[in-house]
Structure 1
Amino acid sequence: MSRCTAPSDVRQRGRADVASPGAAMRGAVVGAVVVALAGIGAPADAAPGPTPTEPVVSGAVVNSGKDVIVGITHDVAFPVTVTGADDSGLSFVDVDLKGPHGGFYTTDAFCETATACTTAFTVNAHPAPGSDDPVDLANANAGTWKVDALVDTHDGDSVFAPGVASFGLKRAARLTVNAAPEPVAKGATITVTGKLVRANWDTYRYAGYTGQAVKLQFRPKDSDTYTTVATVNTNSTGNLHAKVKAAKDGYWRWNFAGTTTTGPAKAAGDYVDVR
């Protein structure tokens, strides 16, 4: 972190320089007693002022609660909103994102309200224009990332909240599907093939994703709902292969749920006419 939270004893000393309302009241009470003895009425005691509170960070939301999924061609921008409270209101936030194998991003911003501060991040895993050098991410950085937040308040206090949130920064995946023959006789065999690939942030290409469980799903022509028919593992090159019986007209697709390092993917349904 480029900045750190001021120690609590420093903040306390700063506040101690302000004259205590209670001390002033004690002086007023003594004076009032003397006046009362002389037969003159005394003024009523005033209530002490509110005690300042320490700032708190209550949480953070990354990318509206969704994983950040990055391919190999485009920048991906997403917000991080830190929320908290202070009697003077939040004024400024410094946010660090920390990931596996040294992954790191940082940015800061003024708070848009007294209780919320939103920063914007942009990440990518493609070469810089006219260069073969990577701009940001490597494959080893994919996985679970943590959020650290340092928030300043309008009255000069600050609070540091390490690990206030976490999120998945994942490699993008793609799926294809082909169901054949088309058309097909009812009761005959349909062969459904496809391929699962994912972004390689080291080579800036998509490559087959090996040994992954992928669901084969079917949706009848007159329905909006897909049903899982089988689960098939990808081979050494990411290819998929399954054989099913033709029962009715409808759409076939592959559906991959994703992993801790790779985002989900669904193939567009391939329609088969059963006669």
Structure 2
Amino acid sequence: MRATLGVVTGALALSALAVPAAQADEVHGDTKISNVVVNGGKPVVVGATGSKTFSVSFTVTDNSGVDWAQAILYHGANIDDADSGAVANSSDGRSSCAKVNATTATCKSSYTVEAGYELINKVAGSWKVWAIAAGNDADYVQKDNAKTFQVQRLSKLTVNAAPEPVKKGKTITVTGKLSRANWETGKYAGYASQPVKLQFRKKNASTYTTVKTIKTNSTGNLSTTVKASVDGYFRYSFAGTSTTPAANAAGDFVDVK
């Protein structure tokens, strides 16, 4: 049940991962894996540089008690064809399992992914949790996809409304830029052709309302016009994609005379 998975991401050769063979789901006996939670249920978001450490937890049951468990994170159709991956930060790559009762344990481990190493642009999006667990009686279960989660390139969004102050009825030009982490250059680059909402909040109001939706240009820039009516804040709001998280620009106040 042991094999070696060599994960190669473009020109980046990751360290070989020693993992059990992973052709398909296998169940031998009554061992079960459930309640898999990655990063507290939130996407794993990483900036243009640096790394992110997060946890994965799951429940294992076996009528003889739980012996050991392991989870490996990967991007690809299956773990054998993965183009990136991460093993637990433990010395042996296994999860730490805490006994709940005679038949149940909660297993948990931490993982670290780094921009430019495990992460290059093409592996943003859906990742999977490959998991295996064994009981004290040698029963075991192996799951090729115990959980799917998102690994995303951090996004940034700016806004500027001008002129300010402005006379009522005059034209306000609202500009901004949507950018996201480029894990290969270590910088932020414009996110092209994305729908972004222009929103407005009246002075002393607590919520924004959408004025219109426009798209970013080829360099991620935004520009549109509106008529000045009352004092308030303009912002851009991006809903996010599978590879990039949502973002809201900080509101820019306009004083209408």
If the TM-score is normalised by the length of the shorter chain, which range does it land in? 0.7 to 0.9
- Distance (Å, rounded) in 2 between the aligned partners of 1:111 and 1:219: 49
Q: Does 1:109 align with 2:95?
A: yes
- Please state which structure has a larger fraction of its residues in helix: 1
1:174-211 C-alpha deviation (Å, 9 max, x unpaired): 01100111111122211100001111111111111111
Q: Does 1:67 align with 2:43?
A: yes
Q: Does 1:81 align with 2:57?
A: yes
- Distance (Å, rounded) in 2 between the aligned partners of 1:146 and 1:262: 17
- Distance (Å, rounded) in 2 between the aligned partners of 1:204 and 1:193: 25
Q: How does 1:22-171 map to 2 (within 5 A)?
A: 54-100=30-76, 102-107=83-88, 108-113=94-99, 114-125=104-115, 134-171=116-153
1:208-255 C-alpha deviation (Å, 9 max, x unpaired): 111111111111111111111111101111100010111111111111
- Distance (Å, rounded) in 2 between the aligned partners of 1:218 and 1:266: 12
Cα RMSD (Å): 2.0
Q: How far has the Cα of 1:136 moved from its partner?
A: 2.5
TM-score, length of structure 2 as denominator length: 0.81
- Contact 2:67–2:136, Cα closer than 8 Å, also in 1: yes
- Contact 1:210–1:235, Cα closer than 8 Å, also in 2: yes
Q: How far has the Cα of 1:73 moved from its partner?
A: 2.3
1:138-187 C-alpha deviation (Å, 9 max, x unpaired): 11111111111111234443221221110111111101100111111122
- Distance (Å, rounded) in 2 between the aligned partners of 1:147 and 1:245: 50
**What secondary structure, in the 3-state scheme, does the structure 1 residue paired with 2:122 have?**
helix
Equivalenced residues, count: 223
AA aligned to 1:163 is N
TM-score, length of structure 1 as denominator length: 0.76
1:13-49 C-alpha deviation (Å, 9 max, x unpaired): xxxxxxxxxxxxxxxxxxxxxxxxxxxxxxxxxxxxx
- Please state which structure has a larger fraction of its residues in strand: 2
Q: Does 1 or 2 have the higher relative contact order (CA < 8 Å, sep 6+)?
A: 2
Larger Rg: 1
Q: Does 1:234 align with 2:251?
A: no
Distance 1:155 1:205, change over 3 A: same
Structure 2 alignment gaps of length 5 or more: 4-18, 77-81, 89-93
Aligned residues with identical type, % of pairs:
48
